[in-house]
Every structure is written in structure tokens, then in C-alpha cells.
Copies of this chain bind each other. A is one copy, B any other.
Amino acid sequence: MRVDIWSDIACPWCYIGKARFEAGLAAFAQRNGNHDVEVVHRSFELDPKAPAATDLPVLDMLSAKYGVSRTQAEAMEARVADAAAGEGLDYRSDRIHGNTFDLHRLLHLAKAHVVQDALLGAFYRANFAEARPLADPAVLTGIAVAAGLPADEVARVLADPGAYAQEVRADERAAAELGATGVPFFVIDRKYGISGGQPAEVFRQALERAHADGAVRVLAAGEAEVCGDEGCAVPGA
């Protein structure tokens, strides 16, 4: 099975939803034995026009965006923090709002190195649990290298804005084609979609459902030109 997850590092429900999905996946795996479930993280930018580097606190961004007071913005954040705490996740509201394009490009590099999930987890922790400035290239590089990426490749990707840019755009187009206007957005076996950071049980049930109808139907076999234990069939020979 395969699960595609569209998310953004700046998205609190993606951070929380990742933990809920993983809990659902663990419950599914416990019931069904160790099934081969491949998770692929796909890019989605909530605010593609955000400046690359910024000192804008998220709380200021929120009060400007919603036209609410600082106190109201804090109350909104407190509700999200409660949800995070429910999953055992730290959540800081004194983090910085910024552009996530470079982070998504690095996540595609990480995919090639099979450390994508680790890097996304590290980005979430750095942003939400530690309020670290991800726009700082030194901070970003430190996190990427700690997650298992070669420092020279990280430097190359950060220096070239075109590196993995197509991959980020392709993910975003794919989300649009699926009708996903928000994140997190989960797609199981390219068949079942789940929008939002739903409870773990929703993910478990969706995985069960995809698993139940996951058997492969053989469309063509029979007189096949095929090689096997017994050698290679030469139909009509």
C-alpha cells in the first residue's frame, strides 16, 4: 500500500495530523501484521508568496490575516496547542512565519536519499516545538544534515532555486487535480482521500478499507510470453 500526504511545514494541522496518521497506521499494522505501507510526502505551500526570510511572528501574521487582536490570535493558537498536546506534541506560538519553498525542495532531495519522513519530522519539530528560524540557511542545513542528507548536496540545492522546483510544482498541481484546497490531505493507494488532521481511528479504518480491496486482479496472463522457473515460454512453439 502507498499513502501520499500533502502538507506544509507551516501548517499546524499537518504537524498534528502526521502524529494522528502515524497512530492510525500503527493500529492498522498491529491488526494486520507488518504490511508494506509506503508513505510519500508531497509538497503544498499554504503561503507561496511569503517572503523567503522574515522576522514576522506567527501571532502578528494571524492577527493581521484574520483582523483580530493579538489576544484573540493567542486564543486561537491555544486551541491548536491543546490539540497538539493531545498527541504528545510540543507547540510554541512564538514561532516565525515564513516561506517554505526551500524546505519542500529539500524534502524532495531527502526523498532521493530515503530520509524524507525523518526530515519532515525534524522540520515540524524545529518549527512548532522549538520555534527555530527555518529561514536561516545555517539552521536549515544543520537540520537537513542531522536528518541524513549530505552537506554538499544540501548546499547545492539551497544555492540553486531551480533544484527540485519542478518536483514541488508537480506535487502542487497533483493536489489541485485532486481538488485538495487545504492540507493535510491524505490519499491511500491513489484511491481513498482524507482531508484534514482526522482522528487516528479515521486513518486506521481507511487503511483497513484500502487493504481489504487491495488484491491485484490479473487482467492478462494465459498465453503469455513469460520467463519462469521452467524457462521462457515461446507461445506457439
Contact = CB atoms under 8 A, between A and B. Distances in A.
A2 B187 CA distance: 14
Number of copies of this protein chain within its complex: 2
Give the interface size bracket for A toward B: 35 or more
Contacts of A16: 225
Interface stretch (A88-96, A121-129, A193-201): A193-201
By secondary structure, the A interface counts as: mixed
A62 B190 CA distance: 42
A112 B109 CA distance: 10
Given A192-B216, A234-B79, A225 B206 contact: no
B195 A220 contact: yes
Given A182-B227, A216-B191, A13 B112 contact: no
Interface string A196-237: 111000100010010000101111110011111101111001
B196 A76 contact: no
A51 B1 CA distance: 34
A195 B218 contact: yes
A76 B114 CA distance: 43
Contacts of A112: 112-114
B216 A13 contact: no
Nearest to A167: B114
A160 interface: no
Interface of A: 1-2, 8, 10-14, 16-17, 36, 46, 62, 65-66, 76, 79-80, 83, 112-114, 170, 174, 178-179, 181-185, 187, 189-198, 202, 206, 209, 214, 216-221, 224-229, 231-234, 237
6 contacts: A13-B225, A13-B232, A65-B231, A79-B237, A184-B226, A192-B216
